[in-house]
A and B are shown apart, each in its own frame.
Chain A
Amino acid sequence: MASDVGLSDAGMEQQLKRKHRPFERFIVGTLFVAGAISIAVTLGIVWELGSESLLFFTDPVVTIGEFFTTTTWQPQAGVFGIWPLILGTLYITVIALVVAVPIGLASAIYLSEYASARVRNFFKPVLEILVGIPTVVFGFFALTFMTPLLRSIFGGSVVGFFNVLSAGIVVGLLIVPLISSLAEDAMAAVPNSLRQASYGLGASRLETSLRVVVPAALSGIAAGIVVAMSRAIGETMVVTLAAGASPRNFGFGEDALFGTILNPFQGAQTMTGYIAITANGDLSYNTVDYNSIFAIGLTLFVMTLGLNSMSRRIVRRFRQEYE
């Protein structure tokens, strides 16, 4: 048989062997390197945050224990307790979520379950434009519109020029499209048979949306909210511009909770705000200030990484497989 095509058995065997293609291997190698660069980026981030933080914690001015237990942040006085910055970050994040979760979820439910094609074609691009607006413009908006508005509502003597409420509301507006698009994706993934079964049992559109579709998509919605939370924590420009540059140092006295800790009308520096303000001047290397931004950056990195992997775990763990 082999002689029919003019090849000996040995020649045939040779022919069927995988051909050595150096060019192909070179291409695949190059592409692999491109993929591996992302690993290098992560290693770079971890190495740089870790090593500079190590310098910070080995500095005689501060110990790692003080850093995580002190409730005063006064770099000028050499007091580095991260809690005031975490307080500012979390406070603004909570306000943002209070604003964004209802609006984002309502938008998602409406667009996915109620809206006609025409209504969708109007609202979807609007939400997409909102995603595309740079955060610094949102910061400008907070300072020139939201803060004056709050001051005219609650009174200029009550509301400070820098306040967490204004920053929180605007960060909320910023993350609305994130929540709505992730929640809408999750709801679009719910199979139609569930909706039809619900309608068949006599449920209305509202009952179907809220009691069937939303529970079925809950894992995706929850994951979306967690991602939005991580985004709000890492948001920099709005909080730098609108929430001011004074850390909200606090104690645990009589009316500390509502007097200082939870006052929405006064400013509070956040972790990202401190990093941006400190780096904005001419920062000289190897000073405590320089190293401190990396210690805060590390904390921020760990928090957002934790939230992002939590969102993925929520999806994996609670996803219901239909069909």
Chain B
Amino acid sequence: MSTAAPPELEPARHFPSDYFPSDYFPSEDEYRGLLNKRTRRARGIHMLLLLLLTTAVLGLAILLYTIVDDSFGLVAVVNQNEPEDVLAGYGYDPDVTVLSDLNTEQLVEVLEGTVSSGVGRRLEREKRFFEDRLVFESQETWGEICASSDAPPGCGGGVRGKGDVLALVEERVIAPDIVAAEGMVASIINPNGFKDSVEADFAANPASYGDYTYDQVRYTWRAWFSWKFVTTPASDKPELAGVRTAVLGSIWLVVITVLFAVPVGVGAAIYLEEFAKPTRINDLIQTNINNLAGVPSIVYGMLGLAILVRLLEPITSGSLFGAGAPNGRTILSAGLTLGLLTLPVVIISSQEAIRAVPNSLRNAGLGLGATKWQTVRSQVLPVAVPGILTGTILAVARAIGETAPLILVGAASFITVSPNGPFSQFTALPIQIFQWTSFPQEEWRHLAAAASLVLLVLLLTLNAVAVILRNRYSRRLT
């Protein structure tokens, strides 16, 4: 047996020079250069990301700016009758007296002297001027029309206040006609630029101003968005138009939407989260709800048109209950359409809220011998309410802004009578904005901006309510 030769050792190799060629690694300078490049690139892309994100914020800022800017500003007005002339015509001194100094009696006299008797009678039938006497109607006809079956609201009593009459005088006697309007910022920064451009336009296209001459033009500051704007009904004259009818219509719609979507939506969510066993039909319901959430709103409008407005006309027009809408294009149809549209969103957000309730609560309830429904009602739901409420309010806020479905179910574009029940014809804020935006004249654009502002304020209030309710409830429960 010979002893084995000791294994031959490999010559020692040193890291890294024996493993890598000498130029494999960058030199110190090259390394610095590469590192700088890497840092620069990272910083550049960081800036790019921030820039793109800022673009979105900028978009929102410009949008809000556009709306606010158009909601206020200078207007160029031509009055049919100058207030000074009117005052002088009735023997007042225009240097010391202004219209608002007159009392109701005197204002009615001015009104009586200008408006036609037909218009006067219509105004009086809306609401009387005086308790003790009639201005435009004769006593006999007044008695007759008030005795008839469709007596006008004026018969119900009540008289116009001074503010009301003053507004009528301004509307009917002064009768301002807006010929041009400017945005808020331009009006503040450069009011003379606006005046010069109106003057130049008068010189260039006199035909587009009809009988007016530039001497008649008066400049005043106008807040298109004002409390008066919210409380005035629609009109075909931009200087007199308001959104009362539209706001009331929107409120009616929301009420019906909530009455339908909340009970059904929360019920469906409770069923799916607490009671549904994973059978085929329950899976189908869940998939179906997810699909419905992605259906474009205009398709819901078509559903409303074909089924609620047309097929169910006897119900939605109210003729089944003796209410007389001419067709199914009523608040009820539109409210239910919006309810169907909101339903999947309400279901999904309520499901999330219910799912977030810890299982220990359910187990404790069941362990104490409560039935499934008792557990759900007194343990699960109270904890889930804040989440359900928030989700619902956000869904409803979305429904208020929906326009396309309302166009389909036949919101009237021009309506001055306030809705008085689920079977009335209606218009809504978004519809009004849509209509005014699509008119070519500039004045309507300012009205659309002001109406948008009203809508945004409404939505902001709703969101604030959602936040407050959520905070309040969650404090109480935990």
Contact = CB atoms under 8 A, between A and B. Distances in A.
Interface of A: 21, 23-24, 27-28, 30-39, 41-42, 44-45, 48-49, 52, 102-104, 106-107, 109-111, 114, 123, 126-127, 129-130, 132-141, 143-145, 173, 176-177, 180, 204-207, 210, 227, 230-231, 233-237, 240-241, 272, 275-276, 279-280, 285, 293-294, 297, 300-301, 304-305, 307-309, 312
A134 B400 contact: yes
B60 A130 contact: yes
Given A126-B56, A272-B404, A132 B291 contact: no
Contacts of A241: 434, 437-438
A134 B405 CA distance: 13
20 contacts: A30-B267, A31-B268, A31-B270, A32-B271, A35-B268, A38-B344, A45-B299, A114-B46, A126-B56, A135-B403, A140-B67, A140-B449, A141-B66, A145-B63, A206-B42, A206-B46, A236-B296, A272-B296, A279-B301, A279-B408
The secondary-structure label for the interface of chain A is helix
A136 B268 contact: no
Contacts of B302: 45, 48-49, 275, 293-294, 297
- Please report whether the interface of chain B is mostly helix, strand, loop or mixed according to DSSP: helix
Contact of B56 (A48, A107, A137, A294): A107
B46 A300 contact: no
Contacts of A104: 56
> What 5 A-B pairs are tightest by C-beta distance, nearest first?
A234-B296, A134-B401, A34-B267, A106-B52, A31-B271
B456 A126 contact: no
B401 A137 contact: yes
B285 interface: yes
Interface stretch (B129-137, B157-165, B234-242, B305-313): B305-313
Contacts of B438: 241
Contacts, number: 241
Chain B interface extent, by class: 35 or more
A300 B294 CA distance: 12
Nearest to B446: A144
Nearest to A286: B310
A219 B249 CA distance: 43
A152 B272 CA distance: 54
Contacts of B292: 38, 41-42
Contact of A136 (B275, B306, B434): B434
Contacts of A177: 56
A236 B56 contact: no
Contact of B294 (A28, A38, A130, A227): A227
A203 to B, nearest CB: 10
